Amino acid sequence: MLPLVLLFLGAKADDGRFFDQRVAPIIETHCLGCHNEELKNGNISFLDRESLLRGGAHGPAIVPGKPAGSLLMIALRHGGELQMPPGPKLSSKEITVFRKWIQSGAVWGARLRK
Ligand code: HEC
Protein backbone atom coordinates (compact mmCIF):
# COMPACT_ATOMS: atom_id res chain seq x y z
CA MET A 1 0.00 0.00 0.00
CA LEU A 2 2.71 2.45 0.98
CA PRO A 3 4.54 2.34 -2.38
CA LEU A 4 1.22 3.03 -4.12
CA VAL A 5 0.61 6.04 -1.93
CA LEU A 6 4.09 7.33 -2.62
CA LEU A 7 3.58 6.81 -6.34
CA PHE A 8 0.37 8.78 -6.14
CA LEU A 9 2.01 11.60 -4.21
CA GLY A 10 4.86 11.56 -6.68
CA ALA A 11 2.48 11.93 -9.59
CA LYS A 12 0.54 14.67 -7.86
CA ALA A 13 3.71 16.56 -7.14
CA ASP A 14 4.54 17.27 -10.76
CA ASP A 15 4.17 21.00 -10.51
CA GLY A 16 7.47 21.53 -12.24
CA ARG A 17 9.57 19.89 -9.57
CA PHE A 18 10.73 17.09 -11.86
CA PHE A 19 11.81 19.70 -14.38
CA ASP A 20 13.59 21.86 -11.82
CA GLN A 21 15.37 19.01 -10.04
CA ARG A 22 16.11 16.56 -12.84
CA VAL A 23 15.78 18.15 -16.28
CA ALA A 24 16.98 21.73 -15.77
CA PRO A 25 20.42 20.77 -14.37
CA ILE A 26 21.15 18.66 -17.49
CA ILE A 27 19.98 21.48 -19.76
CA GLU A 28 22.15 23.98 -17.87
CA THR A 29 25.23 21.81 -18.23
CA HIS A 30 24.77 20.47 -21.75
CA CYS A 31 22.39 22.62 -23.81
CA LEU A 32 22.07 26.17 -22.52
CA GLY A 33 25.49 27.24 -23.72
CA CYS A 34 24.27 27.15 -27.33
CA HIS A 35 20.49 27.36 -26.98
CA ASN A 36 19.75 30.55 -25.04
CA GLU A 37 18.20 33.91 -25.83
CA GLU A 38 21.40 35.31 -27.35
CA LEU A 39 22.68 32.19 -29.06
CA LYS A 40 19.58 30.57 -30.42
CA ASN A 41 21.34 27.77 -32.26
CA GLY A 42 18.88 25.88 -34.43
CA ASN A 43 16.45 28.68 -33.52
CA ILE A 44 15.56 27.17 -30.15
CA SER A 45 16.12 28.40 -26.61
CA PHE A 46 16.00 26.21 -23.53
CA LEU A 47 14.87 29.21 -21.49
CA ASP A 48 11.53 29.13 -23.21
CA ARG A 49 9.10 26.16 -23.44
CA GLU A 50 7.22 27.82 -26.30
CA SER A 51 10.40 27.94 -28.31
CA LEU A 52 10.83 24.17 -27.94
CA LEU A 53 7.21 23.51 -28.88
CA ARG A 54 7.62 25.68 -31.96
CA GLY A 55 11.07 24.32 -32.74
CA GLY A 56 13.41 25.37 -35.51
CA ALA A 57 14.06 24.41 -39.11
CA HIS A 58 13.52 20.74 -38.26
CA GLY A 59 10.08 21.28 -36.71
CA PRO A 60 8.94 21.05 -33.07
CA ALA A 61 11.73 19.98 -30.70
CA ILE A 62 9.30 18.46 -28.19
CA VAL A 63 5.83 16.98 -28.51
CA PRO A 64 4.45 16.72 -24.94
CA GLY A 65 3.36 13.15 -24.16
CA LYS A 66 5.17 11.78 -27.20
CA PRO A 67 8.88 11.22 -26.62
CA ALA A 68 9.10 8.90 -29.63
CA GLY A 69 7.86 11.69 -31.86
CA SER A 70 10.07 14.37 -30.32
CA LEU A 71 13.04 15.56 -32.35
CA LEU A 72 14.90 16.30 -29.13
CA MET A 73 14.89 12.59 -28.23
CA ILE A 74 16.04 11.58 -31.69
CA ALA A 75 18.88 14.11 -31.43
CA LEU A 76 19.88 12.87 -27.95
CA ARG A 77 20.17 9.27 -29.17
CA HIS A 78 22.63 10.34 -31.88
CA GLY A 79 20.89 7.98 -34.28
CA GLY A 80 20.44 10.32 -37.21
CA GLU A 81 22.07 13.38 -38.68
CA LEU A 82 21.08 15.75 -35.88
CA GLN A 83 23.18 14.84 -32.85
CA MET A 84 22.77 16.80 -29.62
CA PRO A 85 24.76 17.75 -27.77
CA PRO A 86 27.43 17.82 -30.45
CA GLY A 87 30.25 15.55 -29.26
CA PRO A 88 29.78 12.83 -26.66
CA LYS A 89 26.27 11.51 -26.11
CA LEU A 90 24.54 12.11 -22.80
CA SER A 91 24.45 9.12 -20.44
CA SER A 92 21.47 6.79 -20.85
CA LYS A 93 20.33 7.92 -17.41
CA GLU A 94 20.21 11.52 -18.57
CA ILE A 95 18.42 10.58 -21.78
CA THR A 96 15.84 8.70 -19.70
CA VAL A 97 15.20 11.86 -17.66
CA PHE A 98 14.30 13.72 -20.86
CA ARG A 99 12.10 10.84 -22.01
CA LYS A 100 10.16 10.77 -18.72
CA TRP A 101 9.80 14.52 -18.74
CA ILE A 102 8.33 14.62 -22.26
CA GLN A 103 6.18 11.54 -21.58
CA SER A 104 4.56 13.25 -18.60
CA GLY A 105 3.69 16.37 -20.55
CA ALA A 106 6.95 18.36 -20.52
CA VAL A 107 5.83 20.42 -17.53
CA TRP A 108 8.05 23.49 -17.10
CA GLY A 109 9.40 24.65 -13.74
CA ALA A 110 10.72 27.84 -12.23
CA ARG A 111 14.44 27.20 -12.57
CA LEU A 112 14.89 28.15 -16.23
CA ARG A 113 13.23 31.37 -17.25
CA LYS A 114 14.13 34.01 -19.78
C1 HEC B 1 27.95 23.41 -29.03
C2 HEC B 1 26.65 23.99 -29.25
C3 HEC B 1 25.42 23.16 -28.98
C4 HEC B 1 25.11 22.46 -27.83
C5 HEC B 1 25.92 22.31 -26.56
C6 HEC B 1 23.78 21.91 -28.04
N7 HEC B 1 23.32 22.24 -29.29
FE8 HEC B 1 21.51 21.74 -30.12
N9 HEC B 1 22.01 22.71 -31.84
C10 HEC B 1 23.20 23.36 -32.08
C11 HEC B 1 23.22 23.82 -33.46
C12 HEC B 1 24.38 24.58 -34.15
C13 HEC B 1 22.00 23.43 -34.04
C14 HEC B 1 21.54 23.59 -35.48
C15 HEC B 1 21.97 22.33 -36.20
C16 HEC B 1 21.42 22.18 -37.57
O17 HEC B 1 20.53 22.93 -37.98
O18 HEC B 1 21.89 21.25 -38.26
C19 HEC B 1 21.25 22.76 -33.00
C20 HEC B 1 19.98 22.21 -33.15
C21 HEC B 1 19.27 21.54 -32.19
C22 HEC B 1 17.93 21.01 -32.37
C23 HEC B 1 17.11 21.09 -33.66
C24 HEC B 1 16.47 22.46 -33.84
C25 HEC B 1 15.94 22.60 -35.24
O26 HEC B 1 14.74 22.42 -35.46
O27 HEC B 1 16.76 22.87 -36.13
C28 HEC B 1 17.59 20.39 -31.20
C29 HEC B 1 16.27 19.69 -30.89
C30 HEC B 1 18.69 20.56 -30.28
N31 HEC B 1 19.69 21.26 -30.91
C32 HEC B 1 18.71 20.08 -28.99
C33 HEC B 1 19.81 20.18 -28.14
C34 HEC B 1 19.82 19.61 -26.80
C35 HEC B 1 18.69 18.84 -26.16
C36 HEC B 1 21.04 19.92 -26.28
C37 HEC B 1 21.58 19.53 -24.92
C38 HEC B 1 21.49 18.13 -24.57
C39 HEC B 1 21.79 20.66 -27.27
N40 HEC B 1 21.00 20.80 -28.38
C41 HEC B 1 23.08 21.14 -27.11
C42 HEC B 1 24.23 23.56 -31.17
C43 HEC B 1 24.30 23.01 -29.89
Global confidence as pTM:
0.90
DSSP 67: G
Residues 72, 52: contact at Cβ < 8 Å? yes
Residue having the nearest C-alpha atom to atom 43 of ligand 1: 34
Amino acid letter for position 70 = S
In whole angstroms, give the CA distance from residue 53 to residue 42: 13
Dihedral angle, C-alpha 32, 103, 82, 35, nearest 10 °? -20
Give residue-wise pLDDT tens across range 33-84. Answer: 999 999 999 999 999 999 999 999 999 999 999 999 999 999 999 988 999 9
In whole angstroms, give the CA distance from residue 93 to residue 90: 8
Average pLDDT, whole number, for the chain? 91
Separation of CA 24 and ligand 1 centre (Å)? 16
Higher-confidence position of 92 and 114: 92
Q: Where are the domains of the chain?
A: 18-103
Separation of CA 13 and ligand 1 centre (Å)? 30
33 lines ligand 1 (CB under 6 A): yes
